[in-house]
Chain A
Amino acid sequence: MIKIDNLHVNVSDKEIIKGLNLEINAGEVHAIMGPNGAGKSTLASTIAGRENYEVTSGSITFDGKDLLELEAHERVGEGIFLGFQYPVEIPGVSNLNFMRTALNGVRRYRGEDDMSAAEFMKLIRVKAADLKMDMDMLKRFVNVGFSGGEKKRNEMVQMAVLDPKFAVLDETDSGLDIDALRTVSDGINAQRRDDTAILLITHYQRLLDYVKPDFVHVLANGKIVKSGGPELALELEEKGYADVA
């Protein structure tokens, strides 16, 4: 589904991703682990198309298309979703309005009609309930005054609404208590299908207890330095990055 080949990325003229290779097929869940500052979020933002993240060489192909040719919003239309490590607050914009605009933007990109307000409300009610999010939170401004856990659940509701083919979830598990972790994991597992792929970025084994990855990679200093099965995550937890990588 997605193929990243020898990717090099500069941020503010500093090379952060230094020759990264990764291939993920439909139906697979991959986990990337790695020390702080390794470049995990930079990779996620580059996949999503953040401006000023300069790809100096290498390629990313998504469903056979050159992803780097597309603008950020077009990538969403193609089916890519980024769950943010630090979801951003947008004062004055209601969560409902935000999600509906997002969904209709994607539908328009795909040549579909806008979803009516009534239809959207039906959809969002279901998706929000799955993630134990109440109406009140949907009416509030995007992420404003949300707790860390609420922000992450909000990301998952957005993912559920947009129903992406490929989701990159950047530390969606950090800052969650055990109940919230379970709820969020359920949300991720619901998105796990034969026709979708998921890339989890995490520091902790505990998420992987709930969402079992097919492959685990260690990212250090801008490169994938080791790959393996789920057992690699356990090994990392035990020995730390320094010894494994």
Chain B
Amino acid sequence: MAGTVEAKKQIEEATKEYKYGFSSDIDMEMAPKGLNEDVIRYISAKKNEPEWMLEWRLKAYHQWLKMEEPDWAKLNFPKIDYNDIYYYAAPKSQDKPKSLDEVDPELLRIYAKLGIPLEEQKVLAGVEGARKVAVDAVFDSVSVATTFREELKKAGVIFMSISEAIVEYPEMVRKYLASVVPVRDNYFAALNCAVFSDGTFVYIPKGVRCPMELSTYFRINAENTGQFERTLIVADEGSYVSYLEGCTAPMRDENQLHAAVVELIALDDAEIKYSTVQNWYPGDKDGVGGIYNFVTKRGNCKGKNSKISWTQVETGSAITWKYPSCILTGENSVGEFYSVAVTNNYQQADTGTKMIHLGAGSRSTIISKGISAGRSQNTYRGLVKILPSAEGVRNYTQCDSLLVSDTSGAHTVPYIEVKNPSAQIEHEATTSKISEDQLFYCRSRGLDEEEAVAMIVNGFCKEVMQHLPMEFAVEAQKLLGISLEGSVG
């Protein structure tokens, strides 16, 4: 295979040329800290990427160099030193726990509370050598995995890592990659283009209803994809897919900076349902540590009557900067955004959506529920934009904030730009403090303080949670409670 030979050559070259040198140990492949052309060449070569992909990455890198980190969000964090970051391979892999005995007992307590099986706990906690075993555990057995793959294949669904797709389906990837989120869209998106480690590619053929929920759980893949993940989902005419990202268990990751990009494309009459539970490490009670999560997620409802629906439950990360959006290009297309964002302790979240209406008769719905506890800050930031071409469109926005503590903040920043007077736009927003009467009522029925808060908060989030796929919903409910532990009093 020409591609492989070429790739090998590239690795050799990259390794030879790179002045700081790379570890040649197969088990410890990694680039040194910092970002430059050589690191990008190295990443590309490691992934056997074709020349065009490398060039694309390099162009993105040079674009990124010219850009600046955005500062408009209501977030406070120390300046990130982009040259103090590993862009390839698991840093400090020698520090991995050898067994569950070495894992933070606090983490294990939460796993137990969520009812996660032992083998899976190992994977989530990053225990050395756990992956192989756990994949089997997740699938129950290897045969389940095989059945799963075969069923998808029969339906003609492509579901693979994006690295594989770049090699196996280059035309399709080239056509759609960065077609929704342009390289220069924002600082973090440009960075992701240059260095993305891995991610997922999904293609649903014409008229196919994907026979199962696709979950990142099922994608047997390289470790360390969380940091600069890249996802591309294309739903061809009349197809349907539901995709689940993340999991409810807290995820251990030593990389502090995350910058993922997700692009969705829905053609005529196609529907994509994208659900996320984000529970990266939020930092400790005093706000030390935690992931900085700068995510760009956008879908293009390209075809007529197409639909893209984002549902997110955001409980993790020290910093969340994330606006899953819809470009409603197609006539009568539909965009939806259902969001729960919980912040506790010193977490900061600035999250929301953009609904850009171009197509006539397009409709969008935004339901956002923000819950702030501890000393956290929680901001909804949204844009509803109606372009002149968008005749007769409708938007409904509802933003509710619930304060669990006196020391937290809830903020709502809705932008509305209307360039077509026929648009019907409704916006509702509320902010309330968790009610003492509700708490006492729950407690007088035998719920302890944390159970009472969890119950009230889950009720508050009901309209969003009901959009989660069933298998996620129950765990996500428990997760809300866990995220708010210690938030009262």
Contact = CB atoms under 8 A, between A and B. Distances in A.
A93 B443 CA distance: 15
A132 to B, nearest CB: 21
Q: Which of B440, B441, B444, B449 has the most CB of A within 10 A?
A: B444
A87 B436 CA distance: 13
Q: Size band of the A side of the interface?
A: 20 to 34
A73 interface: yes
Nearest to A93: B459
B441 A73 contact: no
A81 B445 CA distance: 8
A51 B440 contact: yes
A101 B455 contact: yes
Contact of B440 (A45, A93, A106): A45
B44 to A, nearest CB: 48
A105 B460 contact: no
B443 A101 contact: no
Given A92-B462, A105-B447, A158-B445, A50 B456 contact: no
B83 interface: no
Contacts, number: 84
A92 B444 contact: no
Interface in A43-65: 45, 48-52
Nearest to B440: A50
A103 B451 CA distance: 13
A52 B440 CA distance: 11
Interface in A63-119: 71-73, 76-77, 81-82, 84, 87-93, 98-99, 101-103, 105-106, 109
Contact of B459 (A73, A90, A102, A162): A90
B463 A90 contact: no
Contact of A92 (B437, B441, B443, B463): B463
A73 B440 contact: no
B445 A91 contact: no
Contacts of A98: 445, 455
A91 B459 contact: yes
Contact of B445 (A50, A92, A162): A162
A204 interface: no
A99 B437 CA distance: 17
Interface string B423-460: 00000000000011111111111111101100110111
Contact of A73 (B436, B438, B447, B460): B447
Interface residues of B, number: 25
Given A82-B444, A88-B441, A105 B462 contact: no
Nearest to B456: A90
Contacts of B446: 73, 76-77, 102-103, 105-106, 109, 162
Q: Which of A52, A71, A93 has the most CB of B within 10 A?
A: A93
B463 A71 contact: no
A73 B443 contact: yes
Contacts of A48: 440, 444
B440 A92 contact: no
B58 interface: no
A141 interface: yes
Contact of A90 (B451, B455, B461): B455
Nearest to A83: B444
Contacts of A92: 458-463
B168 to A, nearest CB: 45
Q: Which of A72, A89, A109 has the most CB of B within 10 A?
A: A72
Contacts of B443: 49, 71-73, 76
Interface string A140-160: 011000000000000000100
Contacts of A99: 445
Contact of B441 (A71, A87, A105, A141): A87
Contacts of A106: 446
B262 to A, nearest CB: 28
Contacts of A72: 440, 443-444
Contacts of B444: 48-50, 72-73, 76, 81-82, 84
B428 to A, nearest CB: 14
A71 B437 contact: no
Contact of A91 (B441, B442, B447, B460): B460
A91 B462 CA distance: 8
Leading 4 A-B pairs by shortest Cβ distance: A92-B459, A92-B462, A105-B446, A76-B446
29 contacts: A51-B436, A51-B439, A52-B436, A71-B443, A73-B449, A73-B452, A76-B443, A77-B446, A81-B444, A84-B444, A88-B435, A88-B437, A88-B438, A90-B455, A90-B459, A91-B460, A92-B461, A92-B462, A93-B459, A93-B462, A98-B445, A98-B455, A102-B446, A102-B447, A105-B445, A105-B446, A106-B446, A158-B445, A162-B446
Interface of B: 435-449, 451-452, 455-456, 458-463
Given A52-B436, A91-B459, 9 more contacts: A50-B440, A73-B444, A88-B438, A88-B441, A89-B438, A93-B462, A98-B455, A141-B459, A162-B446
